Amino acid sequence: GENVEQHPSTLSVQEGDSAVIKCTYSDSASNYFPWYKQELGKRPQLIIDIRSNVGEKKDQRIAVTLNKTAKHFSLHITETQPEDSAVYFCAALGDDYKLSFGAGTTVTVRA
């Protein structure tokens, strides 16, 4: 099955700076990679996703890049704001059609 590794586990940034979270996956057949934001006690919410026929996708301050050869993908948040503080999970849809999650990154944006 798919194995997703996520780094770092915690990330503290100054408001206005950028945050980058990196994930690797093992199943070369995976071709859908969503990112979820989870606030304390709440459900994971999809913030952006990318499919394997695309190398980069951007939505306002959030961007995701995918390198299929290296089997890694990254989330970039620019101009961070306090409301960006949350746990972020990457995920990959493996060949078995199960969504496998990374371990999560706790992002803290310091005002």
Partner 1 sequence: EPEVTQTPSHQVTQMGQEVILRCVPISNHLYFYWYRQILGQKVEFLVSFYNNEISEKSEIFDDQFSVERPDGSNFTLKIRSTKLEDSAMYFCASSRTGGRLGELFFGEGSRLTVL
Residues that bind partner 1 (CB under 8 A): 31-32, 34, 36, 42-46, 49, 89, 91, 93, 96-104
Least distance in angstroms from the C-beta of 67 to partner 1: 19
Least distance in angstroms from the C-beta of 98 to partner 1: 5
| Choice between 20 and 49, CB closer to partner 1 | 49
Ramachandran quadrant class, 94 (left: phi over 0; alpha: psi -120 to 50; beta: rest): beta
Buried-state track 61-72, b at ≥16 Cβ within 10 A, e below 16? ebbbbbeeeebb
| Choice between 7 and 78, CB closer to partner 1 | 7
Contact 35, 89 (CB under 8 A): yes
